[in-house]
Structure formats: C-alpha cells, structure tokens
Amino acid sequence: MKISVLVTGGAGYIGSHTCIALAEAGFTPIILDNYGNSSPKVMERLARITGQAAPLAIEGDVRDRALLDRLFAEHEIGAVIHFAGLKAVGDSVADPLSYYDNNVYGSLVLAAAMRSAGVRTLIFSSSATVYGEPDESPIPEDAPTRPANPYGRSKLMVEEAYGDLGRSEPGWRIALLRYFNPVGAHESGLIGEHPQGKPNNLMPFVSQVAVGQRPHLTVHGGDYPTPDGTGVRDYVHVMDLAEGHVAALRHALAHEGLLTLNLGTGRGGSVLDVVAAFERACGKSVPRVIGPRRPGDVPAYWADPSAAKAVLGWEARRSLDQMCADSWRWQSGNPNGY
Ligand code: NAD
Ligand code: WQD
C-alpha cells in the first residue's frame, strides 16, 4: 500500500519539487499550506508533471492544532515532511516574533499533534544558516552552530527541540536536513521559485535580469578573499534536494533515531561563476555591477556532504549549468510566476 506523507509547506518552492520526487517514488503526498508564500495553482502543474492526480491539498496553518488533529484522524498518514515556515533573513531581523511564531511554535504544534496521533516519522527543513560563519569549509555536521540572525536561530531552536523529543521516548524517526543554497527548477520548466517582490537571493535575481525585468545584478562585494573576489556558496539543484528528502524518508521509515545531515554538493561556486553559467544557459549577457558587501554575508562556505552519501546513499548529481538551464526554462516560460 502507498504510504501517505503529510507535506507542510508543500505548495512552496522546495516542497512542490519534493512532492514530485515523492510521487515518483510511490508515496502519496498530502499538502498542508496556508499559501502565504505560494499558490494553489501549483497543484495542476504537479499533476501535469507526474501524470498522476493532483495531490490532495488542504489550505491551513501548521499552528492550527485542531486542523492537524482532524488531518491525522481523517487520513492514514505514515510520515511528515515539514517545510512550512518563513525564510527571509532580513524580515526575521525586522520582525523576529513572526519568525519564532511560524517556525518555532508551528514546529512544536506539529510535533505535538504527531505525538498524539502516533505518527513519529518526521523530516525537517533546516538550513546551513545554523552554522553562521564557519571556521572552515567544507562544513561537517559536527561543526559549531552559531546562527547570526533570528531566522537561523529559529531553525536551530527547532533542531534542538526535535532532538530532545527524539531522545525522550522510543519510536521517533527524525531527520534534520541542513540545506545549503537550493536553486534551479524542475526540468519541465513548469514549476520553480517565484519570490514576491524584489528577490533577496542570487539565482532569482539573475533570472529576472536575464528575462528583462531588472536592469542589472548588483554583485554584493568584489573584494572577498575568494578566487574571483565574490562570495562563494554551495548551490544545490532543487531536484537533487527533493531526491534527498525521499532518501531521508526511506531511511527514517526503516530506522529509529535521530539524524542530522547536510544536503549540498560539496563544491563552492562564486557569484561570477553563477552569472557565467546563467549566461551560457540563456544565451544572453547578464549585466552586473560590483557593489559593496552585503552586511552579514559570509565570504565563502560549502558543505561536507559525505555523511548524507554514507548514510542515505544520496549525493547531488546535477551541475551548476543544469541548475541555471532549469531556472531559465522556468523563468522564461513563466515570467510572472504561476
Ligand atoms: P517557500 O516559502 O517557497 O515555502 C514555504 C511554504 O510554507 C510556502 O508555501 C508557505 O506558503 C508555507 N507556509 C509558511 N508558513 C506556514 C504556516 N504557518 N502554515 C502553513 N504553511 C505555511 O520556501 P522554500 O524555499 O520552499 O523553503 C522551505 C523550507 O526550507 C523552509 O522551512 C525554509 O526555511 C527551508 N530552507 C529553505 C532554503 C532556501 O534557500 N530556499 C534554505 C534552507 C532551508
Ligand atoms: C548568495 C551569494 C551574495 C544577491 C540565503 C540565506 C540562507 C539560506 C539560503 C534559507 C552571496 C550574492 C546575492 C544579489 C549578490 N536560506 N548575491 N547579489 O545569503 O548564501 O543564503 O539563502 O535557509 O539562510 O541567508 O544566499 O542567494 O542571498 O546569496 O551578489 O543580488 O550571492 O552576496 O555571496 P545566501 P543568496
């Protein structure tokens, strides 16, 4: 029998791509999303991509305990993948309470509802941001955690709460996945990332410049101690990430206990590497100007992804060129999102 997986935030960027990987792996995703940063229109796209019925989608909030209790009572849910949350670092500095409310309180309400329902398999979206400014790269999972903003602290708080929960009683199967920089889109070009307003992140900004919606990219700093002077990150294709969730889910279903894993490629790419790869993908030049450093930015970091490979048998397969080609297919086909 197919196992149903509750996917909170499943209409969002990483969640929607993971729903495809879940469906292709024989799971049945059930989405819970408040559409605060997404659109229900993604469901029809998911159906087109998978050739299966659109996932069941419930509009609602992870902080709504009564709704969660109803969901667990009405559906036979075997596991939960918890993406729902807010993710803009700058907003978290301006409005920390909404970050602690959505990300921390929401995660606690969800875990309490799972415990009552007897569902104890949980995959959680954490972030490399929990490492803050690392001492060295590649970053292994046992590197010190010292997040530098409320968003990062909200992720670390949830990691700690879920860790304590996992250790408090037998039966829990919890994977805390620390994503590096997810980019790209499904290769169909039918789903992708569509930030509201001016993008904070590099790849959506470059895409919007390439499609003509913005005049140029401002490179935040050209004088870092990196090979070309620009910031270096571990960009990982969102479909590799999606497949990493399926691998983590399979592992959790088969093994009790707590896992903390990096999901990244193990390779660093600079801002100018991304721009060059994007230019190859779209066949145009991407105008850019070098501006000052962005406050709070770390010069360079990338993952040590060896634990995910050893434990899950998962590793990222897609190249930076493929990430840019897929982003471009999505952006050029859907310049205004869904
Ligand atoms: P996203 O905003 O596209 O997706 C989050 C989804 O959750 C959205 O559909 C939103 O409407 C929904 N949501 C938010 N709060 C909710 C609530 N209280 N109840 C119900 N639904 C709610 O973001 P994403 O990039 O897909 O990120 C997914 C998760 O991965 C987040 O937890 C994020 O912090 C984490 N993460 C993202 C990145 C990244 O760079 N994109 C990196 C590391 C970790
Ligand atoms: C990447 C590089 C910028 C925009 C953020 C969050 C992190 C995680 C992933 C959720 C940096 C440079 C960017 C631009 C630029 N999210 N840049 N011009 O900062 O590594 O990580 O997203 O967990 O928590 O902090 O990603 O895409 O913003 O920046 O030069 O217009 O691109 O300086 O070197 P970042 P990013």
Distance separating the N- and C-terminal Cα atoms of the chain? 33
**Verdict on whether the full-model pTM lies above 0.85:** yes
Question: In this structure, which amino acid lies at residue 193?
Answer: E
| Identified catalytic residue from 151, 224, 235, 301 | 151
With beta carbons less than 8 A apart as the criterion, state whether 157 and 150 touch: no
- Given this model, what pLDDT does residue 276 score? 98
Dihedral sign (CA 149, 274, 22, 336): positive
Q: How far apart are CA 158 and CA 175, in angstroms?
A: 12
- Given this model, what pLDDT does residue 55 score? 97
Nearest CA to ligand 2 atom 33: 220
Longest CA–CA span in the chain (Å) reads 56
Residue 216 in contact with ligand 2 by CB distance below 6 A: no
Closest residue by Cα to residue 250 from 153, 173, 162? 173
- Given this model, what pLDDT does residue 224 score? 98
Going from the Cα of 87 to the center of ligand 1, the distance in angstroms, rounded, reads: 6
- Given this model, what pLDDT does residue 178 score? 99
What is the token pair recorded at 38?
């997404």
- Domain 4-184+236-266+302-316 sits in CATH at 3.40.50.720
Task: Establish whether 151 is a catalytic residue.
Answer: yes
- Given this model, what pLDDT does residue 1 score? 79
Sites in the chain below the pLDDT cut of 50: none
Burial class for 274, CB neighbours closer than 10 Å (0-12, 13-18, 19+) = buried
- Given this model, what pLDDT does residue 84 score? 99
* 274 CA: nearest ligand 2 atom: 32
With vertex at residue 162, the alpha carbon angle to CA 306 and CA 40, rounded to the nearest 5 degrees, is 85
Q: How far apart are CA 303 and CA 234, in angstroms?
A: 7
